[in-house]
């Protein structure tokens, strides 16, 4: 199937009877082949669509996105990597490299991400982590840092594995989070995209005795306008898996699929990916939801300031700490999604109060989910009333 123009795809889905409402295109869980699926807004990390997206499942070679980004961040691309006997023993898909052969680390990343070579993954792991076990520790540490608490790595290539701590597994939500890090947050995001977008790559071993060719197997890159990156996977336990991203008209969407069919259903993952990407593009638009308003003033008990008399209550203005007219909060939302703003402020303050002292927060919620919060500060200093100030005020009132 050739690349589909996104505008045409949306039109086609309408013509063939894709359910629509006043709020846009609908997508039921039964329409997806995957047992677990997630559509994520890459900018915010918010889940836009979920089908069992927190269910732990094996993820096969989609594992390799973590292997790649760690190698880019922690490895040196010009390092020479020597093939160990263990690396050479890895099953297909593999380079077929021989024990003792040497390669540059950078070349192995193309074998990893384009061909999905299992021996390349082990070579990378042993070079960057000292051992497969050491590299797995790095993978799990990075997963924890990203908030992927339902992910557990054992292998760098995603082959089915189990140990005393569990099985090699993730969730669709965690897998989308990991790809979000690779393309949006990592200091090596540009290098990650360059590798995963390369159509083909050829390299020699270090001794120039053998040439290796890689072809990008991420067919999604040619399926939809804006296709950005992705990684396929398959094992007997995991089934077909996929994680990929698309960037179109200012939106960046990530789709992750686990257990999306078994042989002979290789194409299910592409159908599900197109459906979820189209759903996201058809239903979600950016809206600026920042509430431009004067935050007013708040009373400061036992406070004094210029112009305040003894029988008056001092006050301070409330502000965000920057020009409110320059503040924006652009969120990818469905038409029927409404943001509510909660201002968490005390009923009054007690002197002294410093200018710039945080007083409270403005919280932006979608339903019960907190999306963003802004600190609110005191705009003026209010000193505490003391004995001498009170005497001064009484004297002034008496003289008047």
Q: What is the per-residue pLDDT across 88-115, written as a single tens digit (0 to 9) for each? A: 999 999 999 999 999 999 999 999 999 9
- Rounded distance between C-alpha atoms, residue 29 and residue 50, angstroms: 8
One domain for residues 304 and 330: yes
Whether the predicted pLDDT of 215 surpasses 90? yes
One domain for residues 324 and 257: no
Q: What is the CATH number of the domain that holds 377?
A: 2.60.410.10
One domain for residues 113 and 242: yes
One domain for residues 127 and 183: yes
One domain for residues 323 and 180: no
Whether 77 is in a domain gets the answer yes
Q: What is the per-residue pLDDT across 163-207, written as a single tens digit (0 to 9) for each? A: 999 999 999 999 999 999 999 999 999 999 999 999 999 999 999
What's the confidence (pLDDT) of residue 17?
43
One domain for residues 45 and 159: yes
What's the confidence (pLDDT) of residue 311?
74
pTM beyond 0.85: yes
Which amino acids are annotated catalytic? Answer: 61, 64, 116
Whether 93 is in a domain gets the answer yes
Whether 28 is in a domain gets the answer no
What's the confidence (pLDDT) of residue 140?
98
Q: What is the per-residue pLDDT across 316-351, written as a single tens digit (0 to 9) for each? A: 999 997 777 789 999 999 999 999 999 999 999 999
One domain for residues 209 and 169: yes
Whether the predicted pLDDT of 307 surpasses 90? no
One domain for residues 200 and 341: no
Instruction: Give the residue, 248 or 21, on which the prediction is more confident.
Output: 248
**Last residue in a domain, options 284, 307, 336:** 284
Whether the predicted pLDDT of 16 surpasses 60? no
- Residue 231 assigned to a binding site: yes
Average pLDDT over every residue of 22-26: 62
**Last residue in a domain, options 284, 311, 339:** 284
Q: What is the CATH number of the domain that holds 164?
A: 3.40.710.10
Whether 290 is in a domain gets the answer no
Whether the predicted pLDDT of 2 surpasses 70? no
Mean pLDDT of all residues belonging to the chain = 92
**Last residue in a domain, options 284, 310, 343:** 284
Whether 400 is in a domain gets the answer no
Whether 318 is in a domain gets the answer yes
Whether 129 is in a domain gets the answer yes
Q: What is the per-residue pLDDT across 342-366, written as a single tens digit (0 to 9) for each? A: 999 999 999 999 999 999 999 999 9
One domain for residues 273 and 306: no
Q: How confident is the model at residue 395 (pLDDT cuts 50, 70, 90)?
A: low
What's the confidence (pLDDT) of residue 254?
98
Whether 67 is in a domain gets the answer yes
One domain for residues 223 and 344: no
One domain for residues 274 and 302: no
Domain hosting residue 185, numbered range: 33-284
* Domains: count for the chain: 2
One domain for residues 169 and 278: yes
């Amino acid at each position: 199937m050739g690349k589909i123009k996104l505008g045409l795809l949306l039109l086609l889905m309408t013509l063939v009877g894709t359910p629509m409402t006043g709020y846009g295109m609908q997508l039921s869980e039964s329409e997806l082949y995957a047992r677990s699926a997630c559509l994520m807004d890459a900018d915010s990390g918010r889940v836009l669509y979920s089908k069992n997206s927190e269910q732990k499942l094996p993820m096969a070679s989609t594992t390799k996105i973590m292997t790649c980004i760690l190698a880019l961040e922690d490895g040196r691309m010009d390092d020479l990597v020597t093939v160990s006997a263990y690396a050479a023993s890895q099953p297909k898909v593999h380079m077929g490299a021989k024990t003792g052969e040497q390669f540059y680390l950078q070349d192995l990343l193309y074998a990893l991400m384009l061909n999905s070579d299992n021996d390349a993954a082990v070579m990378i792991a042993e070079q960057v982590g000292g051992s497969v076990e050491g590299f797995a520790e790095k993978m799990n540490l990075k997963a924890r840092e990203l908030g992927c608490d339902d992910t557990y790595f054992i292998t760098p290539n995603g082959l089915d594995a189990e140990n005393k701590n569990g099985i090699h597994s993730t969730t669709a939500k965690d897998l989308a989070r990991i790809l979000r890090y690779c393309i949006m947050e990592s200091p090596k995001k540009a290098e990650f995209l360059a590798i995963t977008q390369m159509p083909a790559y050829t390299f020699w071993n270090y001794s120039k005795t053998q040439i290796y060719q890689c072809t990008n197997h991420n067919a999604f890159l040619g399926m939809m306008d804006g296709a950005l990156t992705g990684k396929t996977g398959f094992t007997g336990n995991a089934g077909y898996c996929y994680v990929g991203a698309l960037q179109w008209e200012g939106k960046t969407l990530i789709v992750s699929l686990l257990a999306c069919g078994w042989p002979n259903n290789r194409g299910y993952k592409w159908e599900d990916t197109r459906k979820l990407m189209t759903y996201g593009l058809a239903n979600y638009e950016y809206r600026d939801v920042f509430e431009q308003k004067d935050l007013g003033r708040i009373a400061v008990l036992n406070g004094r300031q210029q112009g305040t008399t003894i029988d008056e209550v001092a006050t301070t203005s409330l502000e965000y700490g920057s020009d409110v007219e320059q503040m924006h909060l652009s969120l990818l939302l469905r038409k029927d999604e409404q943001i509510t703003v909660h201002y968490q402020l005390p009923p009054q303050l007690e002197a002294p109060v410093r200018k710039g002292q945080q007083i409270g927060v403005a919280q932006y919620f979608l339903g019960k989910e907190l999306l963003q919060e802004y600190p609110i500060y005191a705009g003026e200093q209010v000193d505490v009333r003391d004995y001498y100030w009170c005497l001064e005020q009484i004297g002034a009132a008496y003289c008047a």
